[in-house]
Amino acid sequence: MLFFDLTEIYSRIRLRGSTRLDFLHRMSTGDVRGLKPGEGKTTVLTTPIGRMVDYLMVLAFDDSILLIGGGGNQNKVVHWLRKYVFFNDDVQVSDETGDTRMFGVGAEGDPRFIEKVIPDIGRFALPEYAHRAVESPLSADGQIVVARAPQALGLSFFLIGAGLDLASSLADAPPITPDFDAWRILHGYPRFPNEINEDYIPLEAGLWNAVSFDKGCYTGQEIIARMESRGQIARKLVGLTGGADSLSPGEELLAEGGEVVGKVTSAARGAALAYVRSAFAQENLRLRSRQGTLLHVAGIVRI
């Protein structure tokens, strides 16, 4: 089964205070104001010109919300959020990344493992994004958060806890699957900093489910709404197959006539992700690297 240590792959940032949801609502692309404890959804922090600061999964608790974002980006996100806390906001931002560990169970995973960790969880006990904080001896503070992972990350469950150590606590814990990056590239999931960064907007990254087109104003809304309403998306994130083993991030992609039409962002084991001009984001279209490697557009990312 697939069992990933995601401690360094994703960050964990906590927002507390009575206006935490309203604050995040005006700061990000998703409609998060109605989240109730135990629920979650995705959203994107964007700059005033609609570029991505981070792609977040938001988990709502009774007295806080937990933001799961890009590993290594937590300092920037904490600073970004604190910069926009105004005098009438009751919001406190804290970084919990270094205090917790995080594991992911892949979609192909055996549900009996989760039932051993949390006996009453059941494979379908939680809808997508939902989560529970439960008592558990697996964590240093005696509590573990079990989250039903979203399809946007291609996993079944997240396990988050302080000092979480499943291997030493469970005699039959599955071995850690070593290469999460290769797996997510093959399955077409973007991550920070390769695909999630300030060079691109959420719609170019295919993050449509993390953007609300019905909510009020938020940072970057004007640019994103204009691109959606006019259907003018300059680039799209696509998956590539073919000779992707020889590709490197940053490598330019050429159309049949030699025109530069895109750039590779991630590559591993015969698959790659790349941003290409929308006119060339067509399944089965042939592209080439500058070294002449033939590639095929396997699909357009939309999650």
Token digits of residue 234: 């300059």
In terms of domains, do 114 and 248 share one? no
Q: How many domains does the chain have?
A: 2
Examine residue 194 and state whether it is found in any structural domain, yes or no.
no
Of 154, 169, 184, the residue at which a domain comes to its end is 169
Query: From CA 303, how far away is CA 106, in angstroms rounded?
Result: 17
Would you state the pLDDT for residue 94? Answer: 98
Asked which of 61-75, 95-109, 249-263 is least confident by mean pLDDT, the reply is 95-109
Would you state the pLDDT for residue 28? Answer: 97
Examine residue 175 and state whether it is found in any structural domain, yes or no.
no
pLDDT at 122 over 60: no
pLDDT at 18 over 90: yes
In terms of domains, do 18 and 108 share one? yes
Q: How confident is the model at residue 68 (pLDDT cuts 50, 70, 90)?
A: very high
| Matching residue, tokens 């991550």 | 191
Asked which of 89-103, 169-183, 209-223, 272-286 is least confident by mean pLDDT, the reply is 169-183
Domain at 293, CATH number: 2.40.30.160
In terms of domains, do 38 and 87 share one? yes
Would you state the pLDDT for residue 132? Answer: 85
pLDDT in tens, 156-180: 888 999 988 776 666 566 677 788 9
pLDDT in tens, 261-276: 999 999 988 899 999 9
Of 110, 141, 169, the residue at which a domain comes to its end is 169
Q: How confident is the model at residue 243 (pLDDT cuts 50, 70, 90)?
A: confident
In terms of domains, do 14 and 138 share one? yes
pLDDT at 281 over 90: yes
Would you state the pLDDT for residue 86? Answer: 93
In terms of domains, do 7 and 77 share one? yes
pTM: 0.93
How many percent of the chain have pLDDT more than 90? 65
Domain at 11, CATH number: 3.30.1360.120
Asked which of 2-11, 79-88, 238-247, 250-259 is least confident by mean pLDDT, the reply is 238-247
Would you state the pLDDT for residue 123? Answer: 47
pLDDT at 115 over 70: no
For residue 15, what are the domain limits? Answer: 3-169
pLDDT at 121 over 80: no
State the DSSP code for 119.
T
In terms of domains, do 246 and 124 share one? no
Would you state the pLDDT for residue 124? Answer: 43
Dihedral of alpha carbons 162, 167, 173, 176, sign: positive
Would you state the pLDDT for residue 26? Answer: 94
Asked which of 5-9, 26-30, 135-139, 180-184 is least confident by mean pLDDT, the reply is 135-139
The answer to whether 16 touches 63, Cβ cutoff 8 Å, is: yes
pLDDT at 216 over 60: yes
In terms of domains, do 221 and 160 share one? no
Mean of the per-residue pLDDT values of the chain:
89
Distances (CA, A) of 73 to 11, 60, 77, 97, 238: 7, 21, 6, 10, 23
Of 112, 142, 169, the residue at which a domain comes to its end is 169
How would DSSP label each residue in 123-144? TTSS-TT-EEEEE-TTSTTSEE
Would you state the pLDDT for residue 167? Answer: 63
